[in-house]
Amino acid sequence: MPKKRNKSQLDQNVEHVEEEVEALGKKMEKKGNKCCAWYRNTFGIAGPLISTIFWLACITFGIWALKFLVLSTGVVPLAGTYDFFLGNIEIFFLIILLSSYLSYFRSVSPKAYAVVSPLSAAFDITVFLWVAANIVQIINVGLKNEVLLNCADYALSNLAAIFILFTFLEYFVLFIRLVAGFGRTFDKASAPCPPARKNAGSGSRRIYRSGKDKIVGGVCGGIAEYLNVDPVIIRLIWAVSILFYGTGLALYIIAWIIIPRNPDHKWD
């Protein structure tokens, strides 16, 4: 019988990051659900229609602003954008209405929504590509780039195929998540107790992510604990580094994966 391979530290870190991202998403979802619950209890099934009318009013205001810019500047791409939104305002109304009722369906019956969630995701991607392809065509009037034009034309002529493809991929991902979820539950149930951790004072200090002072992943808090400085200083440095082409964000994600979380802290 082959011996079971122990998980590496990186594998454990990745699992911890997945758990923390999932927990963060649940917290944000919980706050959003409270707001949605008030909105749903106040307006009921008419809520999505009211929301659609509001967003349509915003789009109408944006179209009016575009018209003002077109008359003031005469820029051709702005005129094309104005014509696109004005000519498809009924389609935008239907798109927003469908998205609003899908969101309402998700808040009312999350389990039933999970079955159609891949369709919803594929629909969102298709709509995004439709808008993006039209915007590219409008902008390309001045650029006259054949590659961009061909890509936009291909996307517009294959929207149905793109929707079917992403629907298949989303359902495939959903299936993989279900299988992985069952496997992870089985692994946690059958996993032996971890060995006792050696005394940290017997060797070199180890840097950990902090579970006591964390906002997202505990990276800044862990570095501050290791350096024995105020975590606000580390967060300010990180915030400034984001301004340099997003370098700080990339470094934070890498550190989140590489640095293990402190086993002495509570992680929920």
pLDDT digits (tens, 9 = 90+) for 216-258: 788 888 888 888 888 888 888 887 777 665 667 777 877 887 8
Write down the pLDDT at residue 222.
86
DSSP state of 96: H
Band the pLDDT of 40: cuts 50, 70, 90.
low
Summarised one tens digit per residue, pLDDT across range 58-71 is 989 988 988 888 88
- Please, what is the average pLDDT of the chain? 79
Return the HEC string of 45-68: HHHHHHHHHHHHHHHHHHHHHHHH
CB environment 200-219: b (16+ within 10 A), e (fewer): eeeeeeeebbbbebbeebbb
Please state, in angstroms and rounded to a whole number, the distance separating the CA atoms of residues 50 and 45: 10
Residue 268 has pLDDT above 50, yes or no: yes
Write down the pLDDT at residue 160.
92
Summarised one tens digit per residue, pLDDT across range 110-143 is 888 888 888 888 898 899 989 988 988 888 777 6
Higher pLDDT pick, 10 / 231: 231
Question: Among the ranges 19-23, 72-76, 150-154, which has the highest mean pLDDT value?
Answer: 150-154
Residue 220 CB partners (closer than 8 Å, separation 6+): 231, 234, 235, 238
Summarised one tens digit per residue, pLDDT across range 177-220 is 777 665 555 555 555 555 545 444 445 567 888 888 888 788 88
Domain residues of the chain, as ranges? 36-188, 207-258
Among 7-11, 37-41, 180-184, which stretch is predicted with the lowest mean pLDDT? 180-184
Write down the pLDDT at residue 92.
92
Residue 3 has pLDDT above 60, yes or no: no
pTM of the model: 0.55
Residue 1 has pLDDT above 50, yes or no: no
- Per-residue CA distances from 208 to 42, 86, 227, 263, 265 (Å): 46, 54, 11, 9, 10
Higher pLDDT pick, 23 / 82: 82
Summarised one tens digit per residue, pLDDT across range 135-189 is 888 887 776 778 888 888 888 999 999 999 989 988 888 788 777 665 555 555 5
**Residue 159 CB-half CA count within 13 A:** 16
Of 261, 220, 206, 183, residue with least CA distance to 23? 261
